[in-house]
């Protein structure tokens, strides 16, 4: 065989595939509204963009240390102290080309064949494949609507075995936009203390985009600082700072794990972009007022979008508390017919919406739960209104 057995576990990102198809249809002249990729439609903040230009003009364009510049890691340490209440030394911080790759690195240095990593469903679409590529097995723990699609500690414990290496989770959640409460996390902390072998992998990429008035999402380090030596936290510039294309993210955690991640990166990518690092320093130091404006915009868009989606009969829409996603239950339409074809799953709903009504959505099946759609509202409010009307038209045609 030409390809390694590892490639059998590779799967293209479904959100990127859907976004690519939406662009194809747009290129064919169709007026497509894509609610697929979790990407802000507002520009990178000026403070970051100006710093990026400054880096180019001042020749800050050379290799940096594999784990990132001292200046950026110091800035991350300051921001982490502010957000999570914990001090981190420079050798407990690593920077990489995007939050996604930093998580990938962590799984690579932590896991091996025979290990299990628990993730809750609904999950971010990339988690299972990232875990499989590390050699470990993803263990899917399904959360229920009754608990706002956030796993309860007592249910999590049912999935723990002697093979459990880590729990990987995102709060606020992609895809639901919901987040763990402080009480939820306290209950998890009690369980974690019973199983000292379990690493706690906290994907905090949306933790500053809170829509309920909170400054930062509740975190395991807020309520259980005694577990710090088992926590690796991930974040990046993509969401809160609208720096998706800059590809810059970071992790904080125990020195041995962070060192291994830096060594892994030194052999994989060499180092993150010097230009993106310089821009992120400025974003972290000067972007607070921009984040607040972004949150106001997101709350406004959420309210408009929710009010329109409520007009669609027989769907249930869950109001997000963070990020920029709406999780919509369309299960009541499974078994209905569209143009004589029976709708058996949410993938069919998503496909018809894209190909016939030119609205791009992400089916819940890609996140481990059939009967749902993930809708991004990080787009213009007029487009959200039109997209809602198109979805309403589609569902009205099901019989």
Residue 110's domain is classified under what CATH number? 3.40.640.10
Quick one: 346 and 223 in the same domain?
no
Residue that finishes a domain, picked among 261, 286, 311: 286
- The pLDDT confidence band at residue 6, using thresholds 50, 70 and 90, is confident
- The pLDDT confidence band at residue 9, using thresholds 50, 70 and 90, is confident
C-beta of residue 105 within 8 angstroms of C-beta of residue 261: yes
CA dist 120 to 156, 176, 269, 325, 333, Å? 8, 12, 30, 17, 25
Residues 78-129 pLDDT 10s: 999 999 999 999 999 999 999 999 999 999 999 999 999 999 999 999 999 9
In a domain, 41, yes or no: no
Beta carbons within 8 Å of 51's beta carbon, 6+ residues apart: 278, 279, 281, 282, 283
For residue 1, is pLDDT > 80?
A: no
What is the model's pLDDT at position 14?
83
What is the model's pLDDT at position 155?
97
What is the model's pLDDT at position 351?
94
Quick one: 89 and 193 in the same domain?
yes
Beta bridge partners of 138: 117
State residue 200 phi and psi, 5-degree precision: -110, 110
Quick one: 142 and 192 in the same domain?
yes
Q: Which helix (H) or strand (E) holds 38?
A: none
Quick one: 226 and 360 in the same domain?
no
In a domain, 40, yes or no: no
In a domain, 125, yes or no: yes
Alpha carbons 171 and 218: distance in angstroms, whole number: 8
State residue 333 phi and psi, 5-degree precision: -95, -5
Residue that finishes a domain, picked among 286, 309, 341: 286
Domain hosting residue 302, numbered range: 5-30+289-396
- Rounded (10°) CA dihedral 50, 52, 54, 57: -130
- The pLDDT confidence band at residue 8, using thresholds 50, 70 and 90, is confident
Quick one: 275 and 305 in the same domain?
no
Quick one: 362 and 382 in the same domain?
yes
Quick one: 248 and 305 in the same domain?
no
Residues 195-242 pLDDT 10s: 999 999 999 999 999 999 999 999 999 999 999 999 999 999 999 999
Quick one: 246 and 312 in the same domain?
no
Quick one: 317 and 211 in the same domain?
no
Residues 331-367 pLDDT 10s: 999 999 999 899 999 999 999 999 999 999 999 999 9
What is the model's pLDDT at position 37?
85
For residue 324, is pLDDT > 90?
A: yes
In a domain, 228, yes or no: yes
For residue 268, is pLDDT > 80?
A: yes
Query: In the block, which residue shows the tokens 């982490």?
Result: 80
What is the model's pLDDT at position 319?
97
For residue 11, is pLDDT > 90?
A: no
- The pLDDT confidence band at residue 44, using thresholds 50, 70 and 90, is very high
In a domain, 36, yes or no: no
Residue that finishes a domain, picked among 286, 315, 333: 286
In a domain, 131, yes or no: yes
Closest CA to 95 of 240, 284, 294, 226: 284
- The pLDDT confidence band at residue 22, using thresholds 50, 70 and 90, is confident
| Residue range 240-248: mean pLDDT, rounded | 98
Number of folded domains that form the chain: 2
What is the model's pLDDT at position 170?
98
In a domain, 243, yes or no: yes
Quick one: 26 and 111 in the same domain?
no
For residue 304, is pLDDT > 80?
A: yes
pTM: 0.96
Quick one: 138 and 197 in the same domain?
yes
Quick one: 126 and 250 in the same domain?
yes
CATH code, domain with 373: 3.90.1150.10
For residue 299, is pLDDT > 80?
A: yes
In a domain, 386, yes or no: yes
Alpha carbons 138 and 116: distance in angstroms, whole number: 6
């Amino acid at each position: 065989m030409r390809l390694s057995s590892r490639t059998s576990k590779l799967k293209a990102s479904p959100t990127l595939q859907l976004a690519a198809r939406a662009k194809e249809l747009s290129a064919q002249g169709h007026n497509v509204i894509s609610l697929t990729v979790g990407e802000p439609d507002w520009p990178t903040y000026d403070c970051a963009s100006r710093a990026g230009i400054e880096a180019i003009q001042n020749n800050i364009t050379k290799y940096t240390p594999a784990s990132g510049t001292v200046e950026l890691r110091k800035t991350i340490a300051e921001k982490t102290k502010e957000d999570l209440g914990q001090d981190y030394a420079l050798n407990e911080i690593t920077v990489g080309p995007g939050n996604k790759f930093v998580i990938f690195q962590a799984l690579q240095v932590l896991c091996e064949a025979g290990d299990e990593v628990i993730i809750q469903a609904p999950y971010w679409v990339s988690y299972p494949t990232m875990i499989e590529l590390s050699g470990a097995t993803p263990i899917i723990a399904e959360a229920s609507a009754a608990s706002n699609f956030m796993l309860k500690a007592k249910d999590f414990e049912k999935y723990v075995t002697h093979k459990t290496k880590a729990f990987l989770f995102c709060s606020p959640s992609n895809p639901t936009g919901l987040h763990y409460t402080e009480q939820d996390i306290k209950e998890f902390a009690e369980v974690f203390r019973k199983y000292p072998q379990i690493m706690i992998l906290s994907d905090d990429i949306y933790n500053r985009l809170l829509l309920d008035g909170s400054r930062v999402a509740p975190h395991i380090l807020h309520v259980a600082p005694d577990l710090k030596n088992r926590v690796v936290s991930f974040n990046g510039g993509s969401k809160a700072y609208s720096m998706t294309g800059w590809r810059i993210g970071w992790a904080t955690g125990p020195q041995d794990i962070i060192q291994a991640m830096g060594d892994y990166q030194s052999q994989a990518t060499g180092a993150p972009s010097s230009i993106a690092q310089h821009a992120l320093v400025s974003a972290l130091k000067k972007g607070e007022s921009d984040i607040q404006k972004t949150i106001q915009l997101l709350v406004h868009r959420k309210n408009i979008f929710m009010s329109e989606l409520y007009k669609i009969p027989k769907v249930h829409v869950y109001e997000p508390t963070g990020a920029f996603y709406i999780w919509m239950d369309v299960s009541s339409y499974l078994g209905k017919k569209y143009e004589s074809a029976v709708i058996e799953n949410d993938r069919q709903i998503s496909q018809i919406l894209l190909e016939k009504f030119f609205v791009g959505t992400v089916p819940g099946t890609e996140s481990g739960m059939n009967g749902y759609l993930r809708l991004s509202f990080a787009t213009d409010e007029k487009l959200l209104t039109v997209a809602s009307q198109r979805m309403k038209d589609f569902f009205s045609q099901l019989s």
